[in-house]
Amino acid sequence: MRHFIVLLVLLGVCEGAKFGQLCSGNPTNQRRTSDKWGMGHYGAPRGSTRKHKGLDIKCQDGSEVYAPFDVELVRKVIVYNDPKKAAINNGIQLEGEGLCFKLFYVKPDKTSGRVKKGKKIGVMLQMQKVYPGITSHVHVQMCDGTNPTPYF
């Protein structure tokens, strides 16, 4: 049993880890459901061959984004290779509570160091400039590609 628990921790499966508030104005981490651009749940279809690799948490353009628990800022993340999406082409990779995850569509205040739970880590980018009518959101994606939903 001990080896199984160690394996779960190594795989990033951290029992009891829960995300705190990610975005100002959304204290309960309400999720993006469905809009004209698609759905925000993990595994939602993206075209005919791709699946959504994250979970979308509602966040208004320009809102503050917070550390969901004590985190280490690992690095800046480039979301797209498409110049048409430059307005939202930022994110950050973080580690905390035994998890490695990325937040997309966030302009980070800094890209290294430690941040305490609930402290500002950045600002939500202007999704409406790229996807008019979408439910603006922070995309949460686990580094290992697993489903982030159980942590919310």
DSSP string, the chain: -HHHHHHHHHTT--TT------BTTBTT-PBP-EETTEE-STT-EETTTEE--SEEEE--TT-EEE-SSSEEEEEEE---S-GGGGGG--EEEEEETTEEEEEESEEES-SSEEE-TTSEEEEE--HHHHSTTS--EEEEEETT----GGG-
Q: Which residue has the higher pLDDT, 63 or 46?
A: 63
Nearest to 58 by CA among 34, 88, 84: 34
Specify the residue for token string 């080896």: 3
Task: Note whether 124 and 63 are within 8 A (CB).
Answer: yes
Any idea where the domains of the chain sit in the sequence? Answer: 17-151
pLDDT of residue 20: 97
Tokens (6 digits) for 48: 């005919």
Q: Which CATH number fits domain 17-151: 2.70.70.10, 3.40.640.10, 3.40.50.300, 3.90.1150.200?
A: 2.70.70.10
Task: Please state, rounded to an integer, the average pLDDT across all residues of the chain.
Answer: 92
Nearest to 55 by CA among 139, 152, 131: 139
**CA quadruple 81, 82, 83, 87: dihedral sign:** negative
pLDDT tens, 85-123? Answer: 999 999 999 999 999 999 999 999 999 999 999 999 999
Q: Report pTM.
A: 0.88
